[in-house]
């Protein structure tokens, strides 16, 4: 089951934290064995086996795997539009600040590597994008890895009613690993350290940008991985993704 989630934000403006979450659930799609077969191929990212991978080359397969209505290659909801075209998956926000989107990827391991290539990000200057690992709609939790074209980056934790930036908390740091013109490949790695800690590592264009250990044990770790798009609430933004992959860490 694919999901649309309007969530709290990891934007660099602290006042953006605290948005009320609302889950919008898609239709039931293909089995885990067929997910990714139409639009995805190759070896995926990370050190483990590829679980789901797509380059969005086949819009029909993308629309099925990502929960569009039968035969449709676009989906419009309250404040967002999704579009599948050959080689790209586009998320446009107009009225909401944050959207998580996931494919049908079957059962995922707790330790994950989630990778996406962001072809371009346009619209308001506050737009940023990335990936989420260990996400859970039911328990309202997950870890986000986010970048912006001006070099901004963060790793954040979503848990219950709040969102917390675990690195670059003031939002002042920048990295030259990000290409302002794009494309940029972002990779988030989530791995357990014992029973109560999680190491979170952000890579951009194969460069390690940040790593942090979350010592706040989440009560119920989610199993899901998402694409993440954010912008200042009420501002327009469009992010085009060129690939998405989930691997075991």
Domains in the chain, please, with CATH?
Answer: 3-248 (2.60.120.560)
pLDDT at 194: 84
Over range 215-233, report the average pLDDT: 81
Read off the tokens for 195: 């029973």
Does the structure show a pLDDT above 90 at 189?
A: yes
Q: What is the pTM of this model?
A: 0.83
pLDDT at 163: 79
Q: Which residues 6+ apart lie within 8 Å of 128 measured at CB?
A: 10, 11, 12, 121, 146, 147, 148, 152, 229, 230, 231
CA 236 – CA 55 distance, rounded (Å): 25
Does the structure show a pLDDT above 80 at 68?
A: yes
Place of tokens 């009613």: 161
* More reliable by pLDDT, 202 or 102: 202
Over range 9-26, report the average pLDDT: 32
Closest Cα partner for 114 from 211, 221, 246? 246
Residue pLDDT, tens place only, 141-176: 889 999 999 999 999 988 766 778 999 998 999 999
Closest Cα partner for 114 from 225, 3, 242, 236? 225
Between strands 112-123 and 184-193, the pairing is antiparallel
């Amino acid at each position: 089951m694919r999901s649309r989630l309007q969530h709290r934000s990891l934007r660099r403006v602290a006042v953006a934290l605290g948005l009320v979450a609302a889950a919008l659930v898609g239709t039931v799609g293909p089995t885990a064995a067929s997910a990714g077969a139409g639009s995805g191929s190759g070896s995926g990212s990370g050190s483990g086996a590829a679980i789901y991978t797509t380059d969005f080359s086949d819009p029909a397969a993308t629309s099925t795997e990502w929960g569009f209505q039968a035969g449709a290659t676009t989906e419009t909801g309250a404040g967002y539009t999704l579009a599948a075209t050959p080689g790209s998956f586009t998320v446009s926000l107009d009225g909401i600040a944050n959207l998580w989107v996931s494919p049908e990827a079957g059962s995922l391991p707790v330790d994950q590597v989630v990778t996406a290539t962001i072809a371009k990000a346009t619209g308001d200057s506050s737009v940023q994008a990335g990936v989420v690992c260990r996400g859970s709609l039911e328990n309202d939790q997950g870890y986000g890895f986010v970048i912006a074209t001006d070099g901004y980056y963060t790793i954040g934790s979503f848990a219950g009613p709040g969102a917390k930036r675990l690195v670059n908390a003031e939002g002042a740091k920048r990295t030259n690993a990000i290409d302002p013109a794009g494309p940029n490949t972002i990779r988030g790695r989530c791995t357990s350290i014992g029973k109560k800690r999680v190491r979170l590592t952000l890579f951009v264009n194969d460069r390690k940008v940040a790593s942090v250990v979350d010592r706040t044990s989440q009560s119920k770790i989610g199993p899901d991985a998402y694409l993440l798009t954010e912008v200042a609430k009420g501002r327009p933004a469009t992010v085009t993704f060129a690939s998405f992959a989930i691997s075991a860490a």
